[in-house]
Structure 1
Amino acid sequence: MTGNAKKLETGAVERKRGSGVKYVYDVLRDEILDLTLPPGSPIDEIQLSERLKMSRTPIREALVRLASEGLVSTLPNRSTIVSNIDFLNLHTFFDALTLMYRVTTRLAAENHVAADLVAIKAHQAAFSKAVAAQDALAMIATNRDLHAAIAEAGRNPYYTSLFCRLLDEGRRLLRIYYQSYDDRLPHEYVEEHNQMIAAIEARDIDLCDRLGQQHADQIVAQIQKMISRDRRRPIAL
């Protein structure tokens, strides 16, 4: 085999391996964020290998990546579980989330170009469709994509990276929150998003700041209300 042939073969193997890691990562990440794999549940590498028809090497590499994002944890006995949600320190998460809603919406008003608005409005249309269909998983995913697009319009990749991580971590909280509804899922976010988009398009930075704060405040208040709900049932003695 010639040197060039060896390089081509090696490159193909590396690409295949890399795509395998990404595939495993994407599957596990979505299952964790959508609570298909609930907090605290074990991740069995052997069963996962059989289910995904992959070797254990890309699975382990994907787990390392998920661990770096705080989505899985390795126990002292080297077993892996889905990370628990740190309810005791949610205030720090809420502080960061609120700041990012404000900052990214402000920057989008200041720095967006026409193509950004096209992308933002397309994501908003997808979100509105998900709300109309009462599809909780689609609402969570399209909400994340909308706010990521707003962050990208702000032209600060560091804020975008941080905000996307916060939005992804928040997907588990939103999934729990939506599961608490016995009837129709809330529609108010559609109008809030429309107001934010209009303020971005008008380049009204101060209004974007206020709307970002209000949007975050409502989400935080609803999640806190859901978490603190008294779920005790009367027991006859």
Structure 2
Amino acid sequence: MYDLTKFTLKNMTECGADLRKLGSGADSMEEVSDRIVRYLYEQFVDEQTDRPAFALVRFFKTHLYGELEASLQQHLTAASPDQPSDVLKCLTLLATVGDQPAWNSRYASEGHQVIPLASEQIVAQSPMISQLIKQFGLETSSVLSPDPELLVDLEQKTFNVFHVPAAIASPYVPAQQEFVIPCGIQSVLGFGGMLPSGNIIAVILFSKVPISRNTADMFKTLALNTKMAVLPFDRGTIFRK
């Protein structure tokens, strides 16, 4: 078990080694991502309450609309009057776990199962997504349509973390009245990276314990371990059969 207020380099190394092993024996990226979010939810504990430190942990991946499973395509078209292009980049929820029953299935998510990233202007209208991309150290254009000539450099880059130390009243954390305040969210932390396919993975942690900048920075290393766990499925099976 780990305490976010006392997270050490030794803890980071141990946690990273565990994350890296979570891909062993899996049949899809979804299965690995589910293991990752559950590991993080179960292993980080608030010592004051002996309860999970994170209210909600989610794993997202960008994915082309044309390669989404049928249920996600239908979910998206039901909310849009226009037929999406097969090359539309979508931010797709692969795994979720949290304090409330509805947060433990990606199919139960009302607004985050699949989020179309139709243009830079559309992304800019979503403060959390646009800030996550910015803090990762990316341009929105490289997320929507990676330049093949730059892809190797981006894929090998160590991304920064997305860190909101004080979630309450932050313009980058939506649903303040419905989620942040009633659920006691203190900080938000996101980490991830770019896969060889040009798709982005991002794990987002909504914490009931304040997360310092020093602790947040240690998750850069955990991002690399997470990437290694899902890497075998980058051009393979994404969704559970």
Superposition TM-score tier, normalisation by shorter sequence:
under 0.3
Structure with greater proportional helix content: 1
TM-score normalised by L of structure 2 = 0.25
TM-score by length of structure 1 reads 0.25
Structure (1 or 2) with the greater strand fraction: 2
